[in-house]
Amino acid sequence: MKTLLLKDNEQDILKAAEILKNGGLVGMPTETVYGLGANALNPQAVAKIFKAKGRPMDNPLIVHISCFEDIEKFNLVSEIPDKAKILAENFWPGPITVILKKGSLVPDEVSAGLDTVAIRYPNHKTANKLIKMAELPIAAPSANLSGSPSPTTAQHVINDLNGRIDAVIDGGICDVGLESTVITLAQDPPKLLRPGGITLEMLESVIGKVLVDNAVLNKLEDNAKPASPGMKYKHYSPKANVIILKANDEDFVDFINCNKSEEIAAICYDEDTAKLNVKKYSLGKKEDLEKHAHNLFEILREIDLNKTIKTVYSRCPETKGVGMAVYNRLIRAAGFEVKNLEKS
């Protein structure tokens, strides 16, 4: 199959909408990462997403809508709790996915057999236009091959999925750069299943107590069943061995410099770059957590392009604010390997 590279204009978005209506797959920009969209109400179209990505069938998809009313219009859920309305009023359109009890029209392929469905209204004008033009809810996971970092540019999508999908719309670089926050309202108190651009602190400020699923910050036991199936898969892992260094500013730099080698690189902050003698990739200024989120996947992909690097030592993000999302992704890239230099 030839993958069309579409532009971010009316005519091309219409072409993409036709592809979706006909059961095809379209890579679409959103403010989080690029999504791989298909008609969420068509089981055959949804099955193609799993095939193109090599995604395990037990990992459910997020259904994207272009206004709150779409939830009722397409019968996506069986009930809308008040907290869902509050989250929507405060954070939609935006980088947050809400899990609700599933409606009868949502195919099992979308929810991977669960009795819940994940819904998001993205804050991206191209994605919204595409969903409106297709007149459908759009199931879309991240548009990467399963196991590689989520794509934040159309080129990343092409690198992974060229020839496996019908089209991708080039809408430039994604703003947030990390996947959406996922929260389930199928239980009360609600539970954060995946941290993202909408932080735990922001959620609690509008709906009160929110639990944090154990898999967000910790490694699951081998046989444990996570609330969000995606959490059990090894994610975002470059070929080089990533090790998180828990250390103060000075020790981080000293540790890396005394291991100096062509095969070693650092994921660091702007403040570290002049001091490090190895190849380095900066997440941004130390305090700029949004920037860290924005840069992380691009850095992981860049590291994969460098064949010499065997080991990458990374700064250890704090788990406050958006830092929780950065930590959650980085700890998976590191296969949960943390070296603690603070213990002495």
Residues that bind ligand AMP (CB under 6 A): 59-60, 62, 99, 111, 114, 116-118, 141-142, 179, 182, 193-194, 228-230
Residue number closest to Mg ion, CB atom: 142
- Specify which residues 280 forms β-bridges with: 266
Least Cα distance to 158 among 145, 146, 176, 140 occurs for 145
Q: Which one of Mg ion, ligand AMP, none interacts with residue 200, CB within 5 to 8 A by kind?
A: none
Sign of the CA dihedral running 268, 249, 236, 100: negative
Choosing among ligand AMP, Mg ion, none, which partner's interface includes residue 228 (Cβ < 5 to 8 Å by kind)?
ligand AMP
List binders of Mg ion among 140-199 (CB under 5 A): 142
Smallest distance, Å, CB 234 to ligand AMP? 13
Contacts to Mg ion from residues 103-142, by CB under 5 A:
142
The residues in 55-84 that bind Mg ion, with binding defined as CB under 5 A, are none
**Torsions phi, psi of 6, nearest 5?**
-95, 155
Nearest approach, Cβ of 36 to ligand AMP (angstroms)? 9
- C-alpha closest to that of 151 among 129, 177, 133, 190: 177
- How far is residue 86 CA from its own chain's centroid? 23
- Gap between the Cα atoms of 91 and 117, Å rounded: 18
Q: How far is the CB of 141 from Mg ion (least distance, A)?
A: 5
Of 212, 232, 244, residue with least CA distance to 327: 244
> Which pair of structure tokens corresponds to residue 193?
């299943």
Q: Which is nearer to ligand AMP, 231 or 268 (CB)?
A: 231
166 binds, among ligand AMP, Mg ion, none (CB under 5 to 8 A by kind): none
Q: Which residues bind to Mg ion, rule: CB under 5 A?
A: 142
